[in-house]
Structure 1
Amino acid sequence: MRKIYFLILVTLLILVGCSNDSLHFKGESEHWKGEYTTNVDGTTENGQFEFEFKDGKQKKKNLEINVDGLTGGSNRKESENDETVITMKTSCSGCSVTRDSDVFKVTIKWDGNEESFELK
């Protein structure tokens, strides 16, 4: 009976050690909500930022989104955008990956406005 429990314990430890980490970060400002969801497997990461304009679908001119974190940054610039939700995909292999204690600083500029917030 002890051998069965030991075998089950070893199998669980191996499975947990091989699993991917799925991480989720959120934050918001007056006009924007943001999320970052990512899957980390060793030194490989695939994620996606989503930024939602709270005032609905309307044209935004000179849109600029900058994201800074401990593992790097992402940015997007557009002369015009009318999407309510803006998506930015990320991926890397052999890189320094995101940890659940990381914080991302987001700065969004549009139509002469600027707001900053953190994704935690």
Structure 2
Amino acid sequence: MKKRLLLILFVSFILVACSEEKTLEFTGEGENWSVTYIAHIHSSDSESIDYTIRYVGDEPGTKTINFNLGNSSETGRTLDTETSSLTGNGNRCSGCSVTQENDEIKATITWNGKSETFTLTSD
């Protein structure tokens, strides 16, 4: 029984030590928007993302936006009126090409008939 428990603990330790899990953070800012994009790399072909989009421009009022962040896009999202921001999560992929540290991620945000595009880079 002791040997089995030790074997299970040893195998668990090896699996945890070999885990490829890592987090990459990308940021960028345009004239009216700033974006933080976090890629959670689960393995060499699996990731999920979190993002925060913040309005930094001068026009007052609630913003409803459409956006593309890398491979993630959404339409008709409304910013939180107190923080002028939107947080969420995007694509979770398995069997995909995952984000790399030296990647540049294109962000395009469209609102009120206007559009802004800029690049996010890792810190």
| TM-score computed with the length of structure 2 as normaliser | 0.70
Amino acid of the structure 1 residue aligned with 2:107: V
Q: Which of structure 1's runs of 4+ aligned residues deviate more than 3 A?
A: none
**Separation in 2 of the partners of 1:103 and 1:60?**
26
Structure 2 unmatched ranges of 5 or more:
1-12
Q: Which shows bigger deviation, 51-60 or 103-112? A: 51-60
Q: Partner of 2:62 in structure 1? A: 59
1:74 and 2:76 aligned: no
Q: How many residues align?
A: 102
- SS of the aligned residue for 2:99 comes to coil
* 8 Å Cα contact 2:35-2:54 kept in structure 1: yes
Task: State the AA in 2 paired with 1:74.
Answer: S
Q: Shift in Å at residue 33 of structure 1?
A: 0.5
1:98 aligns with 2:93: no
Quote how far apart the aligned CAs of 1:99 are.
Answer: 0.7
Q: 5 Å matches for 1:1-120? A: 15=17, 17-42=18-43, 43-55=45-57, 58-61=61-64, 63-68=65-70, 73-78=71-76, 81-83=78-80, 84-90=84-90, 91-120=92-121
Q: 1:19 to 1:60 in 2, by over 3 A?
A: same
Unmatched segments (≥5 aa) in structure 1: 1-10
CA distance in 1, matches of 2:27, 2:61: 23
Percent sequence identity is 27
Cα RMSD (Å) of the superposition?
A: 2.4
Give the direction of change, closer, same or farther, for the CA distance of 1:28–1:46 in structure 2 (3 Å limit).
same
User: C-alpha offsets along residues 50-109 of structure 1, whole Å, 9 cap, x if unaligned?
Assistant: 111124873124x211123xxxx111111x724221123121122111111111111111
Q: Tell me the alpha carbon deviations over residues 26-56 of structure 1, each in whole angstroms, 9 at most, x when there is no partner.
A: 0001111101112112122121121111248
Q: Note if contact 1:33-1:52 (Cα within 8 Å) is conserved in structure 2.
A: yes
Residues 58 and 82, structure 1, Cα contact 8 Å, conserved in 2? no
TM-score (norm 1): 0.72
CA change 1:82–1:96 in 2 (3 A) is closer
